[in-house]
Amino acid sequence: MGWRKNVPRAFGRKPQPKWQKCSTGDFPHASRDKPQHAGQDLKRHVAATLLVLTTLGVINAHVDIEAQDGRNFVVWQEKKHDVIGWLADHNNQLWRDCSAVQQLSHASPAAEQVLSVIADHSPPDSRNAKLVRLLQQGDWLLAELAFAQLNPAVVVLRSEPKGMRIPERAVWSGSTAPWQAGPRIRQHLALQVPEAPAALLACYDPAATGLR
């Protein structure tokens, strides 16, 4: 028996293709443009970052925080803004339930009774009161009023067998500035008349500009 012939180790395998150097022309859609797109994205990110930094710089240069009566106000262009009150107002609008609260017509019998009680509350200027809004829940009413000589007012009233009356100190009159009007008035009335329905107060939104 003779010697076996020297057989290559890759015998029986498919020949491997030889690598060839390719030019970019062989791949017209190759990622030659990726660096350009990356550069554009980078420019956008840089521009956005500069815009944010510039905005923060402007705000920092023109916005201050000032405390007044236990509340911090944002001062912008020399005017105080009640950001905390603004958030509280929107939160109240989001969660309140007004299903038990009615908005009454200015021509309703209850409206006539309210105006009669108001006329006798602070005469003679209160006799020309005009209803802006009138809400009712059960025996309780909340009225927003405008006057010719007096500041606009918000009044809580209660209907009783002997007639309608204004509970003691159940009145807000005048502007709430710099506080957000809604939360300020609702909080005041809730403290002065704790027995008034919470929903009645929560469903009231000031309408007169003189209250803001």
Q: What are the structural domain ranges in the chain?
A: 33-81, 99-211
Rounded to 5 degrees, what are φ and ψ at 157? Answer: -130, 160
- pLDDT computed for residue 2 by the predictor: 47
Instruction: Give the per-residue pLDDT at 7.
Output: 46
How deeply is 128 buried, as exposed, middle or buried, from its count of CB atoms within 10 A (0-12, 13-18, 19+)? middle
What's the pLDDT at 4?
A: 46
Give pTM, 2 decimals. 0.69
pLDDT score for 52: 63
Q: What is the mean pLDDT of residues 151-175?
A: 95
Tens of pLDDT along 27-42? Answer: 455 444 555 555 666 6
Torsion from C-alpha of 175, 179, 182, 183, nearest 10 degrees: -140
Q: What is the mean pLDDT of residues 1-25?
A: 50
Assign 14 a pLDDT band (cuts: 50, 70, 90).
Answer: low
Q: Which residues of 74-101 are buried (b: 16+ CB within 10 A; e: fewer)?
A: beeeeebebeebeebbeebeeebeeeeb
Range name among 6-15, 34-43, 47-56, 73-82 with the lowest pLDDT average = 6-15
Rounded to the nearest integer, the mean pLDDT of the chain is 82
Listed range (30-34, 42-46, 166-170, 172-176) with the worst mean pLDDT: 30-34
pLDDT of residue 167: 96
Residues 92, 97, 100, 103, Cα dihedral to 10°: 50
pLDDT score recorded for residue 134: 98
Q: Average of pLDDT values for 101-119?
A: 96
pLDDT for res 97: 97
DSSP 127: G
Average pLDDT over residues 19-27: 52
